[in-house]
Amino acid sequence: DPPWYWLVIVSVRLWLQAGFYMILFLAALQNIPPELYEAAAIDGAKPGRQTFWHITLPQLRATSTAVVLLLLVAAFQAFDEFFNLLAKTTWGRPPLVELYYTALGESQDYGAGSAGAMILTVLICAVTLAQGRFMGFGRGEEAK
């Protein structure tokens, strides 16, 4: 029953994807040079909040951007959970499930399904580019 099915779907998606993104962040954390923390300690930065905000978080910017982009694409591609949980309903379907029913359902309208897939592709690209520009994806260190 709505809206409780969203809790189940979000829980399943988080459980499936959390480990991969934890590994990405762990690798990024291990890639931060310890000399930065030593230099901050010499300059008088307090360990904890100051070093986190001024050293750790900026060093994780590229990884955070990549993770958000991957999560965005994965959210648009979520199909199997929705299809299996909401197979009999006509409400609350995400775009990919709706495209599946349009193209391969009873009417089998391949043209409308292909047009919808192209619109969804353009939408994903536009949102990805806007989000990448907002978070500074692809900018070098000299652009700051």
Q: What is the pLDDT of residue 27?
A: 96
Gyration radius from the chain CA atoms: 21
Q: What is the pLDDT of residue 89?
A: 65
Domain extent, residue 58, equals 4-143
Q: What is the pLDDT of residue 91?
A: 63
pLDDT category of residue 28 using cuts at 50, 70 and 90: very high
Q: What is the pLDDT of residue 45?
A: 85
Amino acid at 114: S
Regarding predicted confidence, which is higher, 78 or 42? 42
Look up residue 8 and give its two tokens.
Answer: 């189940």
Regarding predicted confidence, which is higher, 65 or 2? 65
Tell me the three state secondary structure of residue 23. Answer: helix
The C-alpha atoms of residue 134 and residue 99 are separated, in whole angstroms, by 29
Secondary structure in 3-state letters for 5-35: HHHHHHHHHHHHHHHHHHHHHHHHHHCCCHH
Q: Is the pLDDT of residue 143 over 60?
A: no
Average pLDDT over residues 19-40: 94
Q: What percent of the chain has pLDDT over 70?
A: 80
Measured from the Cβ of residue 127, the count of other Cβ atoms closer than 10 Å reads 15
Q: What is the pLDDT of residue 34?
A: 92
Domain count across the chain: 1
| pTM for this predicted structure | 0.66
Q: Are 98 and 116 in contact (CB under 8 A)?
A: yes
Most confident listed range (18-27, 47-56, 103-112, 118-127): 18-27
Q: Is the pLDDT of residue 93 over 90?
A: no
Q: Measuring CA to CA, which residue among 76, 40, 42, 81 is closest to residue 59?
A: 40
- CA distances to 32, 87, 110, 139 from 97, in Å: 41, 9, 14, 36
User: Residue 68's domain is classified under what CATH number?
Assistant: 1.10.3720.10
Least confident stretch, 2-11, 83-92, 111-120: 83-92
